[in-house]
Structure 1
Amino acid sequence: MRIKRMRTSGIPTSGGGGLTLSLIITLLLISGCGFQLRGALDIPSEYSPVFIQSGGPVGTAMEERLQGGGLSMTQVAAQAGLIVRVLGQQRSSRVVAVDSSGKALAYEQVYTVTFDALGAQGQVLLPPQSMSAARTFDDNPDVAVLGKQLESEIIYQDLVSDVAERVLLRVRAALTPKAP
């Protein structure tokens, strides 16, 4: 009669409570310091529903961000408790590095949005201001033109998303009551 040996993984199965305890302590410390996941955007409830007045990509990005955070949106400004208006958008690009023959080696893309925020009765909650984001990317001569255009478009979408997030954070900061 042959006896078969069973292999074990070498990982102890008892005493694993230390890992669980340290995980719980870490989570408590993180939540105690005020940390919030990026998805949590707290607009005070008296400003709900929100209306985004924009005809461009940053308005769409803000709407998606607010809806993803569970905030109530409206398509009618007269029904809104908060109106975020995108007053202007500008996309620009410039050369930031050249080689010895004057050929561009790197570009910077900049996306700027001018916005304000109004209350339900049209009162100014946040005066007009601008928010910008910029990214630099290398111009690799080994990459085809279509690849460069795709990279440029991806960077632009990232800039739009970044500016939308920052605009909403600025609006939230203006609406949040200041601690005494």
Structure 2
Amino acid sequence: MPSLIKSPIKPHLGIALLLLVVLVTSACGFRLRGFIELPENLQPLYISSQGGANNLAATLARQLEQSGVVISQELDPSKLRLELKDFNSSQRQVVFGQREEFELSLQITASARDSQGEALFTDEVLQAYRQYSYNSDTDSLLTRDSLRKELLRSMEDDLIRQLTLRIQALQ
């Protein structure tokens, strides 16, 4: 006859295994994707942007702040100054007919200076590309526009990833 009494060891074993996994992943340097570490000598960071780069700059600042990077609202106390400019987006149709194919591209130019105005990198062009297909017989315009917006958001995330990697390389 099976025993109805449950062993108290099994719940504790599960908790112990969970703690072990947490300990091992933290010990190996595991960080959540998108986590940005910037040394104290490059903080606070000031981000300036022109024209269409304003939304991208705001998203970048928000992500950096969530990672613990100090963002300055003024130029004076900053130790690192990031300038974003010449934000361009384009779309071109590469295949015509019943199955249409489009190519999207985003591009931004970035520069960084230290607190003395010394250039750390200048006018680096960062780009992201995507292609998508649209069947004019079966897909609605709403579907096409929704896909395009989703791809643009993904491309902006790519540009932000490229920017954060470039900033981290300054270490």
Structure 2 CA distance for partners of 1:96 and 1:28, relative to 1, 3 Å: farther
Pair 1:19 & 2:14 matched? yes
Equivalent position amino acid for 1:123 in 2:
E
Pair 1:48 & 2:46 matched? no
User: Is residue 48–residue 73 contact of structure 1 (8 Å, CA) maintained in 2?
Assistant: yes
For structure 2, the residue ranges without an aligned partner over 5 or more in a row are: none
Deviation at 1:171, TM superposition (A): 0.9
Specify which of 78, 88, 91 is matched with residue 89 of structure 2. 91
In 2, the alpha carbon distance for the partners of 1:111 and 1:169 equals: 17
Percent of aligned pairs with the same residue?
21
User: Is residue 135–residue 159 contact of structure 1 (8 Å, CA) maintained in 2?
Assistant: yes
Structure 2 CA distance for partners of 1:170 and 1:12, relative to 1, 3 Å: farther
User: Is residue 126–residue 171 contact of structure 1 (8 Å, CA) maintained in 2?
Assistant: no
2:76 aligned counterpart, secondary structure: helix
Report the TM-score when normalising by structure 2. Answer: 0.80
Report the TM-score when normalising by structure 1. Answer: 0.77
Structure 1 residues 15-46: Cα deviation after superposition (integer angstroms, max 9, x where no partner):
23332233223222222222211353111112
In 1, the alpha carbon distance for the partners of 2:129 and 2:98 equals: 21
How many correspondences in the alignment? 164
Specify which of 151, 156, 165 is matched with residue 147 of structure 2. 151
- Matched with 1:124 is 119
Pair 1:67 & 2:70 matched? no
User: Is residue 99–residue 135 contact of structure 2 (8 Å, CA) maintained in 1?
Assistant: no
CA RMSD of aligned residues (A): 2.5
Which one has the largest radius of gyration?
1
For structure 1, the residue ranges without an aligned partner over 5 or more in a row are: 1-7
